[in-house]
């Protein structure tokens, strides 16, 4: 009797899983076609690595967590940009692979967004701590649409960071004319 119960439950679980997969696809398609993203210019989030890290002479690696969004509004653009850059506490040896030192944090408001093919350029002003620290500091962030391997460039306070997306996604909206 216990064996029949397990077989019955296994069949039920398979049937439920199949229904969830079918409904999940339907719900996902419905949600995508009915989402309020019609005014989205660009959005994305992920983990990046900065090419060359801190640069010469040490070349300490730097990883970032980045998130952004930009939407068109009545006659303008609104959005936000966040970027936290972390480095290891030591350049080599034990601990050099743990990224725990906050070297820069950028928290900004997007004021313009320009789409050129599969690339978006966001500009705005930010409050920055660490490297380039200040308030109302102008920034430019350029991102190429895609997942891991996509490139981005952050320019602010006279600094330029070439980044490669390791995890996450950058999405560029379709232009409406």
Q: Tell me the two tokens of residue 110.
A: 């997007």
- For the entire predicted model, the pTM comes to 0.77
For residue 146, the 8-state DSSP code is B
Instruction: Identify whether the C-beta of residue 141 lies closer than 8 Å to the C-beta of residue 81.
Output: yes
pLDDT tens per residue, range 68-91 = 999 999 889 999 999 999 999 999
At 173 the pLDDT is: 86
The better pLDDT of the pair 91, 49 is held by 49
Pairing, β 119-130 against β 101-116 = antiparallel
Q: Tell me the two tokens of residue 32.
A: 């995508």
| Lowest-confidence segment of 6-20, 65-79, 131-145, 155-169 by average pLDDT | 6-20
Q: Annotate 23-75 with DSSP letters as a single string.
A: HHHHHHHHHHHTSS-TTEEEEEEEEEEETTTT-TTT----EEEEEEEEEEETT
pLDDT tens per residue, range 4-48 = 434 344 444 344 444 344 444 433 333 343 344 579 999 999 999
Residue that the structure tokens 């004319």 belong to:
177
Instruction: Identify whether the C-beta of residue 82 lies closer than 8 Å to the C-beta of residue 107.
Output: yes
Q: Which residues contact 151 (CB under 8 A, 6 or more apart)?
A: 143, 144, 162, 163, 164, 165
């Amino acid at each position: 009797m216990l064996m029949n119960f397990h077989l019955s439950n296994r069949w039920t679980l398979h049937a439920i899983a199949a229904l969830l997969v079918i409904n999940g696809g339907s719900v996902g398609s419905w949600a995508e076609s009915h989402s309020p993203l019609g005014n989205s210019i660009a959005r994305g989030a992920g983990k990046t690595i900065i090419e060359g890290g801190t640069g010469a002479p040490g070349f300490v690696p730097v990883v970032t967590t980045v998130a952004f969004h930009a939407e068109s509004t009545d006659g303008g653009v609104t959005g936000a940009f966040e970027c936290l850059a972390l480095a290891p506490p030591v350049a080599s040896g034990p601990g050099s692979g743990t990224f725990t030192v906050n070297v820069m944090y950028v928290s900004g408001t997007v004021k313009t967004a320009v789409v050129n093919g599969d690339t978006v350029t966001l500009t705005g002003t930010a409050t920055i701590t660490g490297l380039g620290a200040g308030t109302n500091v102008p920034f430019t962030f350029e991102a190429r649409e895609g997942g891991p391997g996509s490139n981005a460039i952050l320019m602010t306070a006279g600094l330029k960071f070439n980044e490669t997306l390791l995890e996450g996604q950058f999405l560029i909206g379709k232009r409406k004319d």
